[in-house]
Amino acid sequence: MTILVTGGAGFIGANFVLDWLAGSDEPVVNLDKLTYAGNPETLASLQGDKRHIFVQGDIGDAALVTRLLAEHQPRAVLNFAAESHVDRSIHGPGDFIETNIMGTFRLLESVRGFWMGLADAPKADFRFLHVSTDEVYGSLSKDDPAFAETNRYEPNSPYSASKAASDHLVRAWHHTYGLPVLTTNCSNNYGPFHFPEKLIPLMIVNALAGKPLPVYGDGMQIRDWLYVKDHCSAIRTVLKGGRLGETYNVGGWNEKPNIEIVQTVCKLLDELRPKADGSSYASQITYVTDRPGHDRRYAIDARKLEKELGWKPAETFDTGIRKTVAWYLANPEWVAHVQSGAYRDWVQKQYAGDAQ
């Protein structure tokens, strides 16, 4: 038995691979294109582990995917591969259209061809699990109920629009061709190995470097925060028991405004790595011009997943954020190695000269 994971060197995908192999001897074929956010160093602990077969390649490379499927005969394909940063999608939407829409389409077609050729028993057991985002549902006002699986899609950024399109393709391949699919839509993930362009790792890294902590607008954008290892456990749960063709929302039941997240990170750093002069890292908080089309609030209603499959997050935000800050403090080499020239250029482009 084997599973094929796409995007398994990215933040969520790599955490999933590490988590899977920590609790199972079932091998993983890990296909990742290794774009800027794909980091094989995250998987360094698996070097020499025969259960982990890493392949650098694109989900849109039909010949490669078809060969891997034929060679390894996986019982499931889990699709984490995606361009996922909203700001990058605003500045350059083309990569998001190509990877998230066309890449998913080509992957689905390769998987469909493989699945149709299986014998009856493995064909019945096969699963294609597509990992998506709550951003496909659009934005909520302060008093709106949280996103349920029945909410209509209202994506507001090139990123969320491309993910919405990929979700629709997965649904269509199930209803049209019978492909046995499952879809998960998760809230904001955080935790170890998070690329430092996203809010929490960016704040940690900038704080320690004595740099400004850039907060968009008034900082009152609300997100539901999900510890990445809880997300991994939810995906395993859905893969094992989810109903075919169904969507499951995965959330952490932790709605927090961005400014509160930043302040919490600062307080933890004040405790765990205090400044020599005794001042708070919060003094580095700087408000910058809000990004275009910035959704005000996301919130996930994960009751379906709990009711049908018995899943709940194991971490509260307090326990998860403490583990996250401690991990970054303990792993400065990982952080330093991902801060390539391309990363520095991006942060400069996004935030330079924008302080208020």
Are the beta carbons of 76 and 59 closer than 8 angstroms? no
Q: Where are the beta strands (DSSP E) in the chain?
A: 3-6, 28-32, 52-56, 76-79, 127-133, 181-186, 188-190, 213-216, 222-227, 247-250, 255-257, 285-288
Residue of 87, 134, 197, 301 marked catalytic: 134
Residue of 32, 83, 87, 135 marked catalytic: 135
Q: Is the Cα dihedral 29, 31, 34, 37 positive or negative?
A: negative
Strands 127-133 and 76-79: parallel
Q: How far apart are CA 36 and CA 345, in angstroms?
A: 12
**Is residue 306 annotated as a catalytic residue, yes or no?**
no
**Is residue 134 annotated as a catalytic residue, yes or no?**
yes
Are the beta carbons of 203 and 211 closer than 8 angstroms? no
**Is residue 255 annotated as a catalytic residue, yes or no?**
no
CA angle 111, 29, 249 (to 5 degrees): 65
What are the CA-CA distances from residue 317 to residues 158, 180, 230 (Å)? 29, 34, 11
Residue of 32, 87, 137, 159 marked catalytic: 159
Are the beta carbons of 231 and 250 closer than 8 angstroms? yes
Catalytic residues: 134-135, 159
